[in-house]
């Protein structure tokens, strides 16, 4: 909903139709580009003045809460559509675009019986929206958990050699493992490769001469193998670290590789599935929250109009969408149509 709307009420002195005609006439003369609609509020149960005053104290806070939840869901929809590469869909209430739902608002008697106390209606709306907010938190947390796991794996596969997964860079023939010999993997800064090649054979005893081979190189590091006797591996690690070389722990395992591949594929599928289901849930839930919000606005207009204009209820509720430059003029028109004693 790109447009900004005002939902207002005006006190009726003669008849609602007379006031409506006068408002239409004033708007068409002085602010013709301002859309104007009736906002049809049914005859709700008034209750006592004390109950209206008590309710009025809570209406502002509840409105802020409901509006906040609708904005959370809308932002989530925008993010999911962006990540999915989808064009933004028009948000709806049961298939009706939300602009149309607002400007052609019809009270849902089945969901909110007009004979129910106003407090009961407001509390019911608040409870429904709070439950949707809780569901949103759970669903988003589940989606973000899978996304975080996937991001962590992707970082390991795309980060520098100091942290990334090495399994795709090492072939079986690169690794020698026997009763006495082991092959270690050394991460060497690019600028230190000459130092590595001239010194690795002397970092400890029992290093196989000319056994170091470069397997991979990125923007920061190069990955080398080195073969030596297993009993001096710890000494070699210590000496290498002192010279600025990192020895990565690595065990070649085709089974582990396949397991990681399957884990990655499952996480990708889970992420796509959760994202799709979350997006559909958000579309539906946004409609529910928006519908609840409009019913809440109707109750708020009804209650505050009685407190402002008195009993019996006699007011005209309407929806306007003034442009930014036309707001001052529209406000002046509305004030002019109000009884001076009720301003």
Residues 217, 84, single domain; the answer is no
pLDDT tens track for 219-248: 899 999 999 999 999 999 999 999 999 999
Residues 60, 17, single domain; the answer is no
Q: How far apart are CA 8 and CA 213, in angstroms?
A: 78
Residues 150, 271, single domain; the answer is yes
Residues 236, 206, single domain; the answer is yes
Closest CA to 207 of 197, 216, 217, 215: 197
Q: What is the pLDDT of residue 2?
A: 58
CATH number at residue 191: 3.30.70.100
Write the CA distances from 98 to 25, 108, 283, 289, 312, integer angstroms.
Answer: 27, 15, 12, 11, 32
Q: What is the pLDDT of residue 339?
A: 58
Residues 288, 304, single domain; the answer is yes
Instruction: Tell whether 193 is covered by a domain.
Output: yes
Instruction: Tell whether 105 is covered by a domain.
Output: no
CATH number at residue 24: 3.30.1370
Residues 144, 181, single domain; the answer is no
Q: How far apart are CA 71 and CA 76, in angstroms?
A: 8
Residues 185, 228, single domain; the answer is yes
pLDDT tens track for 64-106: 999 999 999 999 999 999 998 888 888 999 999 999 999 999 9
Q: How many domains does the chain have?
A: 3
The mean per-residue pLDDT over the stretch 125-153 comes to 95
Residues 270, 288, single domain; the answer is yes
Residues 64, 153, single domain; the answer is yes
Extract the tokens encoding 173. Answer: 């023939």
Supply the range of the domain harboring residue 258: 45-96+110-163+252-312
pTM: 0.78
| Helix orientation angle between 118-158 and 254-309, rounded to the nearest 10 degrees | 150
Instruction: Tell whether 103 is covered by a domain.
Output: no
């Amino acid at each position: 909903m790109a447009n900004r709307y005002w939902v207002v009420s005006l006190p009726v002195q003669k008849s609602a139709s007379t006031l409506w005609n006068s408002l239409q006439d004033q708007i068409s003369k002085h602010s013709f580009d301002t859309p104007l609609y009736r906002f049809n509020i049914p005859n709700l149960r008034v209750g006592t003045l004390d109950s209206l005053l008590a309710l009025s104290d809570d209406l502002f806070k509840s409105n802020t809460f409901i509006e906040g939840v609708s904005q959370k869901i809308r932002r989530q929809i925008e993010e999911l559509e962006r990540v999915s590469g989808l064009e933004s869909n028009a948000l709806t209430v049961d298939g009706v675009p939300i602009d149309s739902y607002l400007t052609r608002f019809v009270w849902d008697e089945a969901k909110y019986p007009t004979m129910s106390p106003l407090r009961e209606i407001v509390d019911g709306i608040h409870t429904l929206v709070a439950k949707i907010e809780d569901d949103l938190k759970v669903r988003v947390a589940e989606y973000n958990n899978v996304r975080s796991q996937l991001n962590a794996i992707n970082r390991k596969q795309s980060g520098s050699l100091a942290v990334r997964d090495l399994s795709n860079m090492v072939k079986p023939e690169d690794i020698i493992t026997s009763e006495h010999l082991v092959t270690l993997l050394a991460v060497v800064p690019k600028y230190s490769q000459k130092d590595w090649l001239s010194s690795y054979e002397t970092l400890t005893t029992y290093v196989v001469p000319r056994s170091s081979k470069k397997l991979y190189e990125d923007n920061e590091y190069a990955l080398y193998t080195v073969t030596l006797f297993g009993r001096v591996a710890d000494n070699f690690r210590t000496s290498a670290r002192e010279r600025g070389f990192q020895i990565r722990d690595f065990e070649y395992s085709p089974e582990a590789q396949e397991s990681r591949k399957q884990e990655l594929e499952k996480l990708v599928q889970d992420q796509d599935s959760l994202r799709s289901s979350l997006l559909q849930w958000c579309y539906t839930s946004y409609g529910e929250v928006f519908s609840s919000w409009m019913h809440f606005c109707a109750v708020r207009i009804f209650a505050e109009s009685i407190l402002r204009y008195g009993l019996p209820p006699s007011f005209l509720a309407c929806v306007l969408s003034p442009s930014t430059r036309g707001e001052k003029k529209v406000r002046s028109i509305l004030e002019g149509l109000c009884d001076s004693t009720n301003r």
